[in-house]
Structure 1
Amino acid sequence: MQLASSGGRRLRHAALAARKLALETGRTVTRKELSAAGREAEKALELRPTLRLVLSELVACWGEQAWDRLLVWPSNDYLESRTGLTERAIRFAIRALTDLQLIVPKDSPNGKRYAIKDLSGEIIDAFGFDLTPLYTRRGEWAALVLEQKQLRQMQKQAFDDVTICRRATEEALGALAQHFPSVDRSELEVRLQDLQGRTPKRSTRTLPSRLLEEWQSLRDHTEETFYEAGSGGIRFRHNKADNKSPSETCNNGFPKKAGAVLQAEQPLEHLSPAVIVEACPTLADFGQPIRDVPDLVRAGRFLRASLGAHESAWNEAVAEIGAVRASIAVIYVLQIYDDDVSSGGNRIKNPGGYFRALIRMVKAGKIDLEVELLAMRRRRMS
């Protein structure tokens, strides 16, 4: 059957399904409410720009009549002038909106769109488009938008976790190459290159399944290799008899770089290593006892990778506030981040960036690390 040139259209199943949707009895819909439903539908269905334009203009034509159907009757010429689209594009958009069950065409005998008036001139009905499905499905749009938001948040968190694992792995491999060059790193480096090649950019919508688990496994393996190399396979250091004079320093066994830094600065007045351990239980991740200031500096340097902070952040911190305060800042941020994750707050999205910001505030005198850690200890002990 040939379609009439005056606007006849083929019957579509989606139009019949959408026609069954109806407003609540006595419900009056305002243009503002209909516009809100339209915006939610655009986001939920991720409509193309052309469909958004046409749907927005159809919604704007609603005159807030007290009818049981939301009818509008703009001509194609009117829609062309409002949207700047061609008639062909408008016809395709109307067909797509019908297939999505957002609108229902209500055709007149001659295929034209117009209003029906009574003897007094009041509009009582119309032939055009029925927007009732768009409004009655507003709960569905809200649920889809919420689901998409949650999915985007999960994807963002997954990519953030991958970035943290990648940086920590690279830092651990760099530390192995610097301090223990005899340790074989070839397998770890091959796994790192393989994961980097299979990890998509953040612009992609989804992260391949189990990829994050592989990154976490590689990070754990690399850090464990570095730890075993540093402790000689022994979980804790042996206690040795100390027959030296109490006035002698305890820098034996530590890198010369750390010792040189410690000679030029003093620990905070009221913060002994024992106090810091009580305030920050996450120091247990270091795996070795914190007995003196050199231990504290070494722990800060080691745990910095756990924040996902780049080595440049550590170098900047040491240059700005010294190795001791930089180490205390690392431990402090790590504890705050751990408390935030444990409480479910998840307010700290980038602990490495938080560490950089903290260092600058400490240098500017806006934050006193000693006061903050003592307050943290009191809260934990109470």
Structure 2
Amino acid sequence: MQLDHITTPFGRRTMTYAMLADQMTAAEIDEDACADKWKIYQALCEARPRLGITDRALAVLSALISFYPKSELSAGDSLIVFPSNAQLSRRANGMAEQTIRRHLAVLVSAGLLTRKDSANGKRFARRGRAGEIDEAFGFSLKPLLARAGEIAQLAAEVEAERLHMRRMKERLTICRRDVLKLIETALEEGAAGDWLAAQDEYRAIFADYPRKPALEMVSAALEAIEFLRENIVNQLENQLKTTKPSGNAPENERHKQNSNPDSPVESELRLEKSEGENPQSIEHTNEEPAVREIKSTAVGMGQGGMAGQNRARGESLAGVGQKPFPLGMVLSACRGISDYGPGGAISSWRDLMGAAVVVRSMLGVSPSAYEEACAVFGPENAATIIACILERAGHINSAGGYLRDLTSRAERGEFSLGPMLMAQIRANGPGERRAG
């Protein structure tokens, strides 16, 4: 590194370590390095959010590099352009000179340009007898060439994030449509279940959803809505299975015609064997086979259908037997529980349930209240509720009484864990998840 490669700014502009580092980096590029200036500019437009520059600053940079006569930036050339502010204004669509000076300072601060000021601060070039440029004072484009690879990498990352965000939003839109239409269908068909609670959970997920959400908020909303959709689909599938007649021959008593019509004894023995646990149907052996099948099917549907409706009536989307929420979503909502895990971190449901036992004792929740919650919610969801109570411990007078109240409300189908988690995620704000 030689001192003649270092220049300081003219006038009251100060020299910084960052400007010094940019000049040293630009001086150390390979002599054979070259890159298309407009491809670098296109990559800069993509990577703009990562570099902290505005679109107006990029417009000034586009006007500036247009004064470089070649299409490729080569390390063997001086790479210095020296247009006046008036010339830059004309190529920047009439931008005011004060605005141009401000954006030039931004580009220098971002490390995309370096200044090579003359003694009086003017931009000009000295030419030799043959017309070639011997020395020029203005702005050097060498930092663009030196950082071409870095700029391309940043542009690729921004494009990948944009594509990922678009796909996440598409999945979220599809899930929202599915949930709304499935709930609407369940209400119209009169399916058993607390579908109004499912609607409330849906509204809670998108209560504070902004118009332009960040990736973290889209991911959290997608996890929650996918979980809700899965619960709705599972409940509807269970109801369809309980109301749909079985295809097994012993239950429907399908008639099996004997190839030997002269053997009635064999037919009756086979009927008794197939009926097994339903001795009442033996009384109908003299009836026509089709009549026996219709009656037995009606009895089976009546018994199985009533049992399925009773089971569905006792279970709602928010209560008994609910599948646990994703561990990452729980840890994103309840960050304090990780401090009580093994080594101060939680990487599995086993770690979370162990930490919940410790927190349960610390909060004064009785073992019987926690066991009752585990029986109603399941051990994973009970541990999740303990983690949520820990987050709001300062606002809850009796953690044990609060847990018993939630348990009794869940048994009545009046409580859903999803809105509680989403409210806690919104209260925490965007942040990194602590799932292992």
TM, length-normalised to structure 1: 0.56
Aligned residue type for 2:254: D
| Change over 3 Å in CA distance of 1:186–1:171 after alignment to 2 | same
Query: Contact conserved, 1:73 with 1:127, CA < 8 A, in 2?
Result: yes
Which residue does 1:242 correspond to in 2?
Answer: 254
| Change over 3 Å in CA distance of 1:173–1:66 after alignment to 2 | closer
Amino-acid identity (%)? 27
Q: Among 10, 15, 19, which residue is 2:14 paired with?
A: 10
What is the distance in 2 between the residues matched to 1:173 and 1:66?
65
Unmatched 5+ residue regions in structure 2? 1-9, 256-288, 299-436
Which residue does 1:36 correspond to in 2?
Answer: 39
1:50 pairs with 2:50:
no
Largest Rg, 1 or 2: 2
What is the distance in 2 between the residues matched to 1:155 and 1:87?
38
Q: Among 115, 119, 124, which residue is 1:109 paired with?
A: 119
- Within 5 Å, which residues of 2 pair with 1:178-217? 178-201=188-211, 203-208=212-217, 209-217=219-227
TM-fit CA distance, 1:195: 1.4
Query: Contact conserved, 2:246 with 2:252, CA < 8 A, in 1?
Result: no
What is the distance in 1 between the residues matched to 2:86 and 2:122?
12
Which residue does 2:81 correspond to in 1?
Answer: 72
What is the distance in 2 between the residues matched to 1:198 and 1:231?
37
Query: Contact conserved, 1:183 with 1:229, CA < 8 A, in 2?
Result: no
| Change over 3 Å in CA distance of 1:122–1:219 after alignment to 2 | same
Q: Among 135, 152, 164, which residue is 1:154 paired with?
A: 164
Aligned residue type for 2:15: L
TM-fit CA distance, 1:233: 8.4
Which residue does 1:22 correspond to in 2?
Answer: 27
- Within 5 Å, which residues of 2 pair with 1:296-315? none
Unmatched 5+ residue regions in structure 1? 1-5, 254-382
What is the distance in 2 between the residues matched to 1:235 and 1:216?
30
What is the distance in 1 between the residues matched to 2:68 and 2:12?
23
What is the distance in 2 between the residues matched to 1:169 and 1:160?
14
Q: What do residues 39-67 of structure 1 show as CA deviations (whole Å, max 9, x unaligned)?
A: 21232124423212210111111134884
- Within 5 Å, which residues of 2 pair with 1:353-372? none
Q: Among 55, 61, 69, which residue is 1:63 paired with?
A: 69
Which residue does 1:353 correspond to in 2?
Answer: none
Tell me the secondary structure at the aligned position of residue 116 of structure 1: strand
1:230 pairs with 2:240:
yes
TM-fit CA distance, 1:28: 6.9
Tell me the secondary structure at the aligned position of residue 134 of structure 2: strand
1:139 pairs with 2:142:
no
Tell me the secondary structure at the aligned position of residue 9 of structure 1: coil
- Within 5 Å, which residues of 2 pair with 1:301-340? none
Aligned residue type for 1:89: T
Tell me the secondary structure at the aligned position of residue 207 of structure 2: helix
How many equivalent pairs are there?
Answer: 242
CA RMSD in angstroms, aligned pairs only: 3.1
1:170 pairs with 2:180:
yes
Which residue does 1:291 correspond to in 2?
Answer: none
TM-fit CA distance, 1:230: 2.4
Query: Contact conserved, 1:158 with 1:212, CA < 8 A, in 2?
Result: yes
TM-fit CA distance, 1:173: 1.2
Query: Contact conserved, 1:15 with 1:105, CA < 8 A, in 2?
Result: no
Which residue does 1:272 correspond to in 2?
Answer: none
Query: Contact conserved, 1:44 with 1:144, CA < 8 A, in 2?
Result: yes
What is the distance in 2 between the residues matched to 1:56 and 1:102?
12
Q: What do residues 296-318 of structure 1 show as CA deviations (whole Å, max 9, x unaligned)?
A: xxxxxxxxxxxxxxxxxxxxxxx
Aligned residue type for 1:14: A
- Within 5 Å, which residues of 2 pair with 1:255-334? none
Greater shift in the superposed pair: 161-170 or 113-122: 113-122
TM-fit CA distance, 1:194: 0.9
| Change over 3 Å in CA distance of 1:144–1:51 after alignment to 2 | same
| Change over 3 Å in CA distance of 1:8–1:172 after alignment to 2 | same
| Change over 3 Å in CA distance of 1:73–1:181 after alignment to 2 | same
What is the distance in 1 between the residues matched to 2:195 and 2:85?
69
TM-fit CA distance, 1:90: 0.8
Greater shift in the superposed pair: 204-213 or 92-101: 204-213
Query: Contact conserved, 2:117 with 2:138, CA < 8 A, in 1?
Result: yes
